[in-house]
Structure 1
Amino acid sequence: MEQYAGLVCRWLAQGFLALATLTFVIQWLLPRGRKYFRYQQSSEESTTGRGDNSDEERKTRMRQKLQQEHTQKANSYKERILAPREEAKRVQKEEEFEKFLGPAWKGQGHSLGGADSKESDSAGVGGESPPNRSAARRRKLLEEHTSSPRDVKTKTVKAKPVIKLPDEPEEGEKNCVNVILRTPIGKQCSRRFLHTHTVKVLLDFMATLGFSQTYYTISMSYPRLNLSEHLNKTMWEMGFQRQVTLNVEEKDT
């Protein structure tokens, strides 16, 4: 019995010692394990953040590169085509203006009254004109001066149509686009429109700036497109999103 009691006491002592050792090991490893897992998690988050930033930077560089290419193409088109066209129109207008400033027209004049005045002149030289002829001439002059005002055709003046633009959306509106118009005189005018507005509204806006739709139109620089041919399309269908720059140009005559 004493031997069994000694063995039990020895086993209990070994169990308590093992339990104490295990508790010590757990208390020592647990903080360090938490610290290690936190470090790994922060490393993964920083790596993910750097990846997102690099993707955003790459997209920004691509957008800037495309914008630069579009600007270069637009400037090249302006130098090669628009500038010579504007110069030719200016020279043509100067030539037409010089024609009106040239010497006045000169030619052989005709006496007023036609054959009656010639007959009266010849009659005045040789003698008096016949009474019936002079009476007919006086009656004709009297009829011309006493004609009824109803016989005169009155010109009807057409009233100019009043252009009314839709209300301008608030700045920061989700479904709106900021349109910038570059005019031939070098001035830029901007206004906000909704994506549901049609291209016809842009031409009306151009007319309010003093550029008649009869002689002027709006076009895109790149790709080259005349908006007068797409009046019923909406700005969203034309691909206008947040901001777009367009050109006001004279129509080809």
Structure 2
Amino acid sequence: MRRCGGAVMPALAVCVSAAAVLLLWPWDSGSALGLRSFILLAGRLLLVLALLTLIISVVIPWFQSYSLTQARSSLVAVPEDEQERRQRLARKEQQERLSEKTSYYLENVIKPREEMKLRKQEEHFYQMTGQNWKLTQGQRLGEDESVVHESGGGEMGLETPSKEALRKRKLPEHATKPAPPSEPVRQKKGLVLPEEPMETTEGVVTVALRCPSGRVFRRRFLKSFSSQVLLDWMMKLGYHTAIYTLCTPYPRRHLKVGHDLTLEHVGIATDTVLNVEETIPCD
């Protein structure tokens, strides 16, 4: 900029000198200026000012751009290795800043949020499974007793360590007294079905029970088995004899069974289908 200013100042000086010459030059031969000469002089003055303005507006930017170009060219070029090293340092610093921000966010935001979420899930699990006692802090065994003994006063303070230990080891009465003998539990008699014979065994029949639910159960019996086995089988499937009974499909009638009647005696000599129905009189 200093160089530009030094170059512009002579140009301005030249322009001002030219303007002074134009103003002081005797344009008419007469000694006095008339109206016409004054108008011409004023026009020339305006023309000189316009010329000066044009020169200043064109020359000064040109000198400024020229000075900037010279200043840029005078700068020492940075080597490529130095540029790459600076770029690597800048990238490394940026990555370190990002890593610090990420670690701070993980430590102060994400980790507490995950711990709170895990704690809520654990509390919900214990509440659903009825294990709320796991959510309490708990206390050491005998801790309450020691607090009571310390606040008890004079009598507790007179106990010797051996007596105090004996008192703490003393079990409650319900743990030392034997429990009253309870009534013997009657074992419930289970329904036992005879083993299912092979298909090739002589006298084997297949009985199918059509239940009210629509399911059909099949089983093999010997014709010599007691007909009571059919009722036992029905009860084992979940249909009590007080509510349900066995009926033949056609003709529809109750199947009379008993311990002294075999399957062959009640009419089951071949493969048969029986209906499990509610206890309603059948025709």
Per the normalisation by structure 2, the TM-score is: 0.32
Per the normalisation by structure 1, the TM-score is: 0.36
Q: Which has the larger radius of gyration?
A: 2
Using CA pairs under 8 Å that are at least 6 residues apart, name the structure with larger relative contact order, 1 or 2: 1
